[in-house]
Homo-oligomer: A and B are copies of this chain.
Amino acid sequence: MEEKFVTIKDIAQKLGISVSSVSRALHNHPSISLKTRNKVRSMAKQLGYIPSSPAISFQRGKTGTIGVIVPKLSEPFFATALSAIENIATQRNYKILFGQSLDTEEKEKELVESMLHHRVEGLLISISKKTMNYSHLDALKRNHLPVVYFDCIPHQKNIHYVVCDLRNGTIEAMNYLLRKGHRTIGLINGPPSLFASMEREDGYFRALTMKRLKIDRSLIVSSDLSEAGTINAIETLLAKKKPPTAIITFNDFTAIYVINHLRKTNKYKKDLEFVSYANMPILKFMEYGPSASVEQFPYRQGEKSTEILLDLIQQKNVITSEPSAFFKVYVETQLIEKE
């Protein structure tokens, strides 16, 4: 009744040969005759032998797994990214150990530790938005573990990362609105602490500077990205003596919150235009939504970061005296206009 897994030892015993021969037979080692090889194979099948990855990992010192840490999987961006990560990893015979930080520094720390315990061969991280202290990430460097950050990256030197070029994305978005004649453009940004917020703001300024237009800082308001916080933000903007005629919002949902609020309070005007980020697929079916959205290609980001990570792992397995170069990949955004 007590089920135990069959080992090569069992096969060896049944066949009256040594374990090393069994091991070699299963790996098609040339020094094993075809006859025994076949005997071993059929006995393995008969007994239902399943090789033990833990034992193999242990003995070779390699686990064949990479760790992935994201804030929250229920965010479509990360779900899509993880989907891509799994695809690439599987293609290259790696398995995924997965964890979510839920945007807390503590859980992120625990996860990183746990990944180290499990001897993942590399780590893909999109860091928590609340992470201020990077000491747990330093531990990774000490252990020379290949790490690639994506989307949400720490403010550190000498790291590999893959991100969207949101600054340029924002410039594109601004140019789109400027081209359509808007001259008073609002920006409902995320929390100022976020790197993503800084990039949007930066792009916003750049676009105006490039066109030699003057900058009104009060057109930038910050939201905590909740529905209530966003409604607050839009009210602030519209209360201005000269309210914006177009607004860039932190993401699609932010835009939708705003538009929904305006419609409910009868303040909605068809000529108030919105541009947001993320380009959710559902967007093109929405009657009242942003007229354009900045596509961030989560799938590509996942793919690219995984490829880099796996390359780094491979590279690590060959001796090299070269000082390592650091990859900084910027995935081009694309402004998707609603037909």
Asked if A18 lies at the interface with its beta carbon under 8 angstroms from chain B, I say: no
Residue of A3, A79, A99 contacting most chain B CB atoms (<10 Å): A79
CB of A73 within 8 A of CB of B63, answer no
* Interchain Cβ contacts under 8 Å between A and B, 8 examples: A3-B144, A48-B143, A54-B57, A54-B58, A73-B83, A87-B100, A259-B285, A287-B288
CB of B72 within 8 A of CB of A83, answer yes
Which residues on the B side are within 8 Å of A63 (C-beta)?
A: 54
Which of A31-39, A90-98, A123-131, A156-164 lies on the face that meets chain B?
A90-98
Asked if A260 lies at the interface with its beta carbon under 8 angstroms from chain B, I say: yes
Asked if A229 lies at the interface with its beta carbon under 8 angstroms from chain B, I say: no
Which residues on the B side are within 8 Å of A5 (C-beta)?
A: 119, 143
Asked if A201 lies at the interface with its beta carbon under 8 angstroms from chain B, I say: no
Residue of A96, A118, A259 contacting most chain B CB atoms (<10 Å): A118
Asked if A214 lies at the interface with its beta carbon under 8 angstroms from chain B, I say: no
Q: Which residue of B lies closest to A139 (CB)?
A: B48
CB of A82 within 8 A of CB of B76, answer no
With A95-B118, A285-B286 known as contacts, the answer to whether A73 contacts B86 (CB < 8 A) is: yes
Asked if A210 lies at the interface with its beta carbon under 8 angstroms from chain B, I say: no
Bound-complex Cα distance A253 to B48 (A): 44
CB of B3 within 8 A of CB of A143, answer yes
Which residues on the B side are within 8 Å of A79 (C-beta)?
A: 73-74, 76, 78-79
Within 8 A of B (CB), among A115-148: 116-119, 142-144
Within 8 A of B (CB), among A210-266: 253, 256, 259-260
Bound-complex Cα distance A79 to B53 (A): 27
With A98-B86, A282-B282 known as contacts, the answer to whether A52 contacts B117 (CB < 8 A) is: yes
Asked if A17 lies at the interface with its beta carbon under 8 angstroms from chain B, I say: no
Bound-complex Cα distance A90 to B57 (A): 23
Which residues on the B side are within 8 Å of A282 (C-beta)?
A: 253, 256, 280, 282, 286
Mask for A276-287, Cβ within 8 A of B = 1, else 0?
000010100111
Asked if A80 lies at the interface with its beta carbon under 8 angstroms from chain B, I say: yes
Q: Which residue of B lies closest to A253 (CB)?
A: B282
Q: Which 8 A-B pairs have the closest CB atoms?
A: A79-B79, A287-B287, A73-B83, A58-B58, A3-B144, A53-B117, A53-B118, A74-B83
From B55, B74, B96, B116, contact of A98 by CB (8 A): B96
Q: Which residue of B lies closest to A114 (CB)?
A: B95
Asked if A15 lies at the interface with its beta carbon under 8 angstroms from chain B, I say: no
Asked if A51 lies at the interface with its beta carbon under 8 angstroms from chain B, I say: yes
From B53, B73, B119, contact of A119 by CB (8 A): B53
| A246, chain B: closest CB distance, angstroms | 20
Bound-complex Cα distance A13 to B98 (A): 35
From B50, B90, B288, B299, contact of A116 by CB (8 A): B50
Bound-complex Cα distance A280 to B253 (A): 13
From B52, B76, B86, B118, contact of A76 by CB (8 A): B76
Within 8 A of B (CB), among A171-186: none
Bound-complex Cα distance A61 to B117 (A): 16
| A93, chain B: closest CB distance, angstroms | 9
CB of B54 within 8 A of CB of A119, answer yes
From B58, B80, B100, B260, contact of A83 by CB (8 A): B100
